[in-house]
């Protein structure tokens, strides 16, 4: 009788201990949604800093040209409201170039223009929505994936495999230009070529997106391949994001130091539409 009582008590104690342990064990923390985390920053009108390295190769060659850039981005509900970016060719010893965007107005440093600029005019206000400077000024870089667009970011995340890494998570995946054309706005252009991406475009983008414990992007590495074989253009972009939430102040250059693009080239002539990515 005594032995049976002891055995029953032991079993009961073990069950109770297991129950207490189960209750005491903390629940696994939910994984932050990167798209939601970015959307909150957009709503708050906060800023972010970027640093980026770009390598571009043609036709499968091993040699490549590229750029290194640093930027500041002031955010708004609709995305980057203002941008200040500086970049330098890699390799090369040419001087660095800069661009400032306030809303839809882009200012490019005068050193980027091959024709004489009047003395004292250090900036050119672009009146044509084309060119490398204009492209750089949109998001402070050449990433084909717009992390400031929550809808595009969600579409990318749905096509990603998530892995826990030190300090956060890594999202890895790929999509074709045809798939990309279904998730980007009609105004989207491929940063590698400034061409529109359509359902007939030939190309592919792969990515590795790293996020912190708060879900905000800390690094995005993409390989943007347009075309194939000897006509292929491959752009590899490695962007670091830091200082999310800090106040960013970006102002237009002084009017006395600015000249309009049309005053340099004459009346504006409609730029031809860049060749579609489908041509490759």
Residue 192 is assigned to a structural domain of this protein: yes
Q: pLDDT class for 228, splitting at 50, 70, 90?
A: confident
Confidence (pLDDT) at 166:
95
Q: What is the mean pLDDT of the chain?
A: 86
For residue 165, the domain's CATH number is: 2.50.20
23 domain-assigned: no
pLDDT at 15 over 50: no
Q: Report yes or no on 245 lying in a domain.
A: yes
Number of domains present in the structure of the chain? 1
Please give the pLDDT value at position 128.
78
Q: Are 69 and 51 in contact (CB under 8 A)?
A: yes
Residue 171 in tokens: 């999202």
Q: Is residue 70 part of a domain?
A: yes
Position 9 confidence tier, pLDDT thresholds 50, 70, 90 = very low
Q: What is the pLDDT of residues 127-162, one digit of tens each?
A: 877 789 999 999 999 999 999 999 999 999 999 999
Q: What is the pLDDT of residue 273?
A: 62
Q: According to the model, what pLDDT value does residue 1 have?
A: 47
User: What is the secondary structure of the chain as a DSSP string?
Assistant: -HHHHHHHHHHHHHHHHHHHHHHHSPPPPPPP-HHHHHHHHHHHT-EEEEEEEEEEEETT-S--EEEEEEEEEEEETTEEEEEEEEEEEES--PPPEEEEEETTEEEEEGGG-SS---TT--EEE--SS-SHHHHHHHHTS--SS-TT-HHHHHHHHHTEEEEEETTEEEEEEEEEHHHHHTTS-TT-EETTTTEE--TT--EEEEEEEEEETTS-EEEEEEEEEES-GGG-EEEEEEEEEE-TT------PPPGGGEEEHHHHH-S--PPPPPPPGGG-
In a domain, 21, yes or no: no
d(CA 50, CA 69): 8
Per cent of the chain over pLDDT 90 is 61
| Domain-located, residue 4 | no
Measured between alpha carbons, how far is 101 from 119 in angstroms, rounded to an integer? 23
Quick check: is 93 in a domain? yes
When mean pLDDT is compared across 11-15, 65-69, 114-118, 147-151, the lowest value belongs to 11-15
Task: Read off the pLDDT of each residue in 43-67 and give the average, rounded to a whole number.
Answer: 87
Domain interval for residue 134: 34-268
At residue 19 the predicted structure's pLDDT band, cuts being 50, 70 and 90, is very low
What does the pLDDT read at residue 271?
57
pLDDT tens digits for range 60-107: 666 678 999 999 999 999 999 999 999 999 887 788 999 999 999 999
Does residue 143 or residue 195 have the better pLDDT?
143
pLDDT > 70: what percent of the chain? Answer: 83
Is residue 274 situated within a structural domain? Answer: no
- Name the least confident of 51-60, 164-173, 243-252: 51-60
Higher pLDDT: 252 or 227? It is 252
């Amino acid at each position: 009788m005594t032995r049976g009582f002891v055995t029953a008590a032991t079993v009961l104690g073990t069950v109770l201990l297991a129950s207490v342990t189960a209750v005491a064990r903390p629940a696994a923390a939910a994984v932050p949604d990167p798209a939601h985390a970015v959307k909150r920053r957009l709503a708050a009108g906060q800023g972010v800093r970027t640093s980026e390295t770009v390598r571009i190769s043609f036709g499968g060659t091993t040699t490549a040209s590229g750029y290194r850039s640093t930027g500041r981005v002031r955010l708004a509900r609709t995305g980057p409201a203002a941008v200040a970016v500086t970049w330098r060719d890699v390799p090369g010893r040419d001087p660095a170039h800069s661009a400032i965007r306030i809303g839809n107005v882009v200012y490019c440093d005068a050193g980027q223009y091959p024709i004489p600029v009047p003395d004292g005019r250090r900036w050119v206000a672009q009146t044509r929505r084309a060119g490398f400077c204009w492209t750089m000024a949109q998001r402070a870089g050449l990433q084909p994936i717009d992390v400031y667009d929550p809808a595009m970011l969600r579409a990318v995340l749905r096509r990603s495999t998530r892995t826990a890494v030190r300090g956060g998570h890594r999202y890895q995946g790929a999509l074709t230009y045809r798939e990309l054309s279904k998730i980007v706005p009609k105004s989207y252009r491929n940063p590698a070529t400034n061409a529109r991406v359509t359902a007939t475009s030939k190309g592919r983008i792969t990515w590795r997106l790293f996020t912190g414990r708060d879900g905000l992007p800390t690094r995005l590495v993409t390989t943007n391949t347009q075309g194939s074989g000897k006509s292929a253009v491959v752009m590899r972009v490695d962007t670091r994001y830091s200082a999310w939430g800090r106040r960013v102040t970006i102002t237009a250059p002084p009017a006395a130091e600015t000249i309009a693009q049309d005053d340099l080239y004459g009346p504006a002539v409609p730029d031809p539409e860049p060749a579609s990515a489908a041509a490759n």
